[in-house]
C-alpha cells in the first residue's frame, strides 16, 4: 500500500500542477496530513482514508463547468489501473462524491467513518488562517468584489444556487466557512475547528473595523 500511496501522490501532483492556488497539490497535502491526524483517533480503514484524501479534489467540479462526474471517473480509472480492489475503489469514489459542502443543504447518500475523517480534514483547510487565504485567493481568481455592505449573505442557498453564486468574497464566510465548526464529524476535527473558527471571527472583527476607519 505504501507504494500505491506514493504513486497516487505523484499522479495527483501531475494532475494539479496548474491548479488554482487554493485547490492545488498543497491543499491536497494539507488535507492528507489532517486526515492522518484525525484517523489516529478513529477506528477506520486507513488505506481508504489516505486514498480518499489524496483523490478528493482530483477534478473539482467548480473548475470543470460544474461537472461532478469527472473527479469520480478519474479516480476510478486511476485506481483500477493500479489493480486496487473494487470495494476500495467504490468507497473512495463515494467519498469524492459526498465530501463537498454544496451549500450545506443536500442530503448525503453515503456515510462512513472514512468519509467523516476526510470531510473533516477538507473542512479544516477551509478554516483559520489558511481558510482565509484560500477564500481571498479564489475570490481574486474569480475577480470578485472583496466586500459590499449592500449585498447580504444568502444563508439558505440550494446546491444549485451555491454552485453559481458570484457574491462578494466576504459573504463566503457566512455562507460556508463559519458554518463548518458545527458540522464537523469527529472529536479531533471539532477540537481543531474551534480554534480556527475563532481566528476567523477575530479576523472579521478587524476587517470591519478597518473598513469603517475605526482602527
CA distances (Å), 109 to each of 89, 98, 131, 137, in order? Answer: 17, 7, 27, 31
| Predicted confidence (pLDDT) per residue in 156-177, tens digit | 877 777 767 788 999 999 999 9
- Using the structure block, give the residue that is written with the C-alpha cell 473598513: 211
Contact status, residue 99 vs residue 118, Cβ threshold 8 Å: yes
How much is the average pLDDT of 113-118? 97
Q: 49-68 pLDDT, tens per residue?
A: 999 999 999 866 665 566 67
Computed from CA positions of residues 85, 90, 91, 96, in that sequence, does the dihedral angle turn out positive or negative?
positive
Q: Is the pLDDT of residue 100 over 90?
A: no
Which of the four pLDDT bands, split at 50, 70 and 90, describes residue 103? very low
What average pLDDT does the segment 175-200 reach? 96
Task: Considering only CA atoms, give the Rg of the chain.
Answer: 17
Query: Whole-angstrom distance between the N-terminal and C-terminal Cα of the chain?
Result: 54
Task: Answer with the residue of higher pLDDT: 149 or 158.
Answer: 149
- pLDDT value for 158: 74
Average pLDDT over residues 208-213: 96
Mean pLDDT along residues 12-18: 92
Output 39 or 102, whichever has higher pLDDT: 39
For residue range 24-37, list pLDDT tens digits in order: 999 999 999 999 99
What dihedral do alpha carbons 196, 53, 184, 163 form, nearest 10°? 90
As given in the structure block, the three cell numbers for residue 167 are 457574491
Cell numbers 475503489: residue: 89
Which is it for the CA torsion 130, 132, 134, 140, positive or negative? negative
Amino acid at each position: 500500500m505504501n507504494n500505491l500511496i506514493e504513486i497516487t501522490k505523484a499522479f495527483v501532483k501531475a494532475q494539479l500542477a496548474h491548479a488554482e492556488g487554493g485547490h492545488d497539490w498543497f491543499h491536497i497535502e494539507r488535507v492528507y496530513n489532517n486526515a492522518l491526524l484525525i484517523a489516529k483517533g478513529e477506528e477506520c480503514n486507513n488505506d481508504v482514508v489516505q486514498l480518499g484524501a489524496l483523490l478528493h479534489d482530483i477534478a473539482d467540479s467548480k473548475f470543470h463547468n460544474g461537472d461532478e462526474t469527472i473527479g469520480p471517473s478519474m479516480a476510478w480509472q486511476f485506481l483500477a489501473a493500479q489493480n486496487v480492489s473494487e470495494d476500495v475503489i467504490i468507497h473512495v469514489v463515494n467519498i469524492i462524491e459526498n465530501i463537498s459542502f454544496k451549500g450545506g443543504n443536500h442530503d448525503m447518500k453515503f456515510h462512513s467513518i472514512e468519509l467523516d475523517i476526510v470531510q473533516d480534514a477538507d473542512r479544516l483547510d477551509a478554516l483559520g488562517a489558511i481558510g482565509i487565504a484560500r477564500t481571498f485567493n479564489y475570490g481574486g481568481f474569480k475577480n470578485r468584489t472583496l466586500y459590499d455592505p449592500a449585498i447580504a449573505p444568502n444563508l439558505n442557498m440550494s446546491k444549485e444556487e451555491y454552485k453559481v453564486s458570484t457574491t462578494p468574497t466576504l459573504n463566503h464566510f457566512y455562507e460556508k466557512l463559519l458554518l463548518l465548526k458545527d458540522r464537523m464529524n469527529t472529536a479531533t476535527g471539532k477540537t481543531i475547528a474551534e480554534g480556527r473558527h475563532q481566528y476567523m471571527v477575530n479576523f472579521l472583527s478587524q476587517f470591519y473595523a478597518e473598513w469603517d476607519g475605526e482602527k
